[in-house]
Amino acid sequence: MGGEGMVSNEKNNLVKPNPKLTVLPLIALIFYEVSGGPFGVEDSVRAGGGPLLSLLGFLIFPLIWSIPEALVTAELATSFPENGGYVIWISSAFGPFWGFQEGFWKWFSGVMDNALYPVLFLDYLKHSFPIFNNLIARIPALLGIKVSLTYLNYRGLHIVGISAVSLAAFSLFPFLVMGILSIPRIKPKQCLLVDFKKVDWRGYFNSMFWNLNYWDKASTLAGEVENPSKTFPKALFGAVVLVVCSYLIPLLAGTGALNTKSSEWSDGYFAEVGMLIGGLWLKWWIQAAAAMSNLGLFEAEMSADSFQLLGMSEMGMLPSIFASRSKYGTPTFSILCSATGVIFLSWMNFQEILEFVNFVYSIGMLLEFAAFIRLRIKKPDLHRPYRVPLQTFGAIMLCLPPALLLVLVMCLASYETFIVSGIVIIVGFFLYPALVHAKNRKWTQFDIEHVVVPSNDLDVQEPPQEVADEASASLLPVLSSLEINQEVSETSAGVLKVV
């Protein structure tokens, strides 16, 4: 035991200090979790039968979806500033079984979402390099991109955050130039065109939803953020403004300055719009920006997915190997696991991945909104460094519109999506007891169970009570900075005794 302790200490000494994320890098990471720029929004014009519904969507959807999700994320992420994010929220509200399901659904949808970005990257390049239409060139290119980006992610979250800031600036600047060049040519009437006979409602809602979701993803990095109680709200607000502007400005420029058919608007079409407005140089610039944007999207998504697995391992939900870190402070095995999932899911086309991601993500978000309301009722005295300025009834009303939108997106899904999503849900239901059994039989190593304390002074002042459910209590982590010598209690969602 002593020898193992010495080896463990030596390994820990090899890990470099992990710089914390500040406001600007976190804004960039959230921006790339949600958007990454207007690349991929072209389908909303085609599916909406013209520019009007697309423009209205990016004005209205943020009000009923993006802002409520960002507010809920800000409150819960600052209350539980640990890696694992929404897994901890759900575990605290409904217990570890549902916390694990949330983590499994979100990780699976995140990995599948990440499979889109190398595909989008090549979709832009193929307009200038038709060779990428051929599988002989496309498959090696996809593999090379994924391996290279996975290695960058391995090198450290701080590097990813700084890279995201530079990539965001480079990706958005050509669209600002395009917007300025288009001003003399804009005809407002062209922005109001819509042909309801050509509207594909399923494609439209899926496109709008996909381009405006994943605000909660950054919560899985909460343990890597400097002063999360102040940094998270500022970063989320800045990211909301940045995302909405990055969609509306290019769409107004492209649809208002050009008289093109809605059917021509598909993935990669902004490169053609740039050429028609500014010339070949702008087309090439937008293609380069698209390439850089998709790199940022991939990096941000993989960081969130990998640190989510790390957080679940620290909570005792996954074997301890998922929490192992490299000398750069990154979760090595979790990154490899996420990268493997991306490679295996890349065979699906854009629309198939898009619809499936939205469906699984919607299930998880419904559970998050329910947890938000339940924690307001169950733990009104929970220390919330940032609190949405609404009472319980107002909190319910805040969650109602986005919840209805989630249900609508799910109802519009195809039968294939229902079947595949059902299989994923069933796998999650069986995987949790299987891991519990493996843990009890000691077939693999799990971390020692710890206590999660939502914030520095939460619940320490509450009188101790008996633990209602030791099994559920065993799956939540401790904040290492806290040294508490009294008992802390929670309900069956799970907090146990701290010594």
Query: Does residue 52 sit within a domain?
Result: yes
Q: Which of the two residues, 472 and 267, has the higher pLDDT score?
A: 267
Residue carrying the six token digits 């072209």? 42
Q: How far apart are CA 106 and CA 361, in angstroms?
A: 6
Asked whether residue 97 falls in the same domain as residue 222, the answer is: yes
pLDDT of 14-33, one tens digit each?
A: 444 556 778 888 888 788 77
Task: Indicate the DSSP class of residue 452.
Answer: -
Please check the confidence at residue 499 and state whether its pLDDT lies above 70: no
Q: 325 forms bridges with which residues in the sheet?
A: 331
Regarding whether 154 and 202 lie in a shared domain, the answer is yes
On whether residue 93 sits in a domain, the answer given is yes
Beta-bridge partner residues of 331: 325
342 and 401 together in one domain? yes
Q: Is the sign of the CA dihedral 408, 71, 460, 228 positive or negative?
A: positive
Residue 134 forms part of a structural domain: yes
Concatenate the DSSP letters of all residues of 83-144 into one string: TTTHHHHHHHHH-HHHHHHHHHHHHHHHHHHHTHHHHHHHHHHTTT-GGGGSHHHHHHHHHH
199 and 326 belong to one structural domain: yes
Please write the tens of the pLDDT for every residue from 290-310.
877 777 777 777 777 888 888
In a domain, 193, yes or no: yes
In a domain, 469, yes or no: yes
- 1 lies in a domain? no
Give the model's pLDDT for residue 180: 93
Over residues 320-339, mean pLDDT:
77
Count the alpha carbons within 13 Å of 246 in the hemisphere toward its beta carbon.
29
The C-alpha atoms of residue 403 and residue 17 are separated, in whole angstroms, by 41
In a shared domain, residues 271 and 198: yes
Among the three residues 413, 439, 465, which one is the final residue of a domain in this structure? Answer: 439
Mean pLDDT calculated for residue range 64-74: 89
pLDDT reading at 330 higher than 90:
no
Round the average pLDDT of the chain to a whole number and report it: 77
Mean pLDDT of 421-431: 91
The domain boundary residue, chosen from 439, 468, 487: 439
Indicate whether 426 pLDDT > 90. yes
The Cα–Cα gap between 211 and 194 comes to 20
Pair (304, 398) in one structural domain: yes
- Final residue belonging to a domain, choices 406, 439, 472: 439
Same domain, 390 and 305: yes
- Residue 21: phi and psi, rounded to 5, are -80, 135
Mark whether 452 and 434 lie in a shared domain.
Answer: no
Is 415 found in the same domain as 454? no
Domain-embedded: residue 11: no
- Lowest average pLDDT, out of 155-164, 242-251, 399-408, 465-474, goes to 465-474
Residue 294: what pLDDT? Answer: 74
Condensed to tens digits (0 to 9), the pLDDT of residues 357-385 reads 889 889 999 999 999 999 999 998 888 88
Structurally, the chain folds into a number of domains equal to 2
Q: Are residues 333 and 467 in the same domain?
A: no
Average pLDDT over residues 414-419: 87
Rounded average pLDDT over 317-322:
84
Q: Does 2 reside within a domain?
A: no
Domain range for 189: 19-439
Are 162 and 296 found together in one domain?
yes
Q: Tell me, letter by letter, the H, E, C secondary structure of 403-451.
A: HHHHHHHHHCCCHHHHHHHHHHHHHHHHHHHHHHHHHHCCCCCCCCCCC
The answer to whether residues 78 and 183 belong to one domain is yes
How confident is the model over 441-494, as pLDDT tens digits?
A: 888 777 655 444 444 433 333 333 333 333 333 333 333 333 333 333 333 333
Indicate which CATH number applies to the domain containing 228.
Answer: 1.20.1740.10
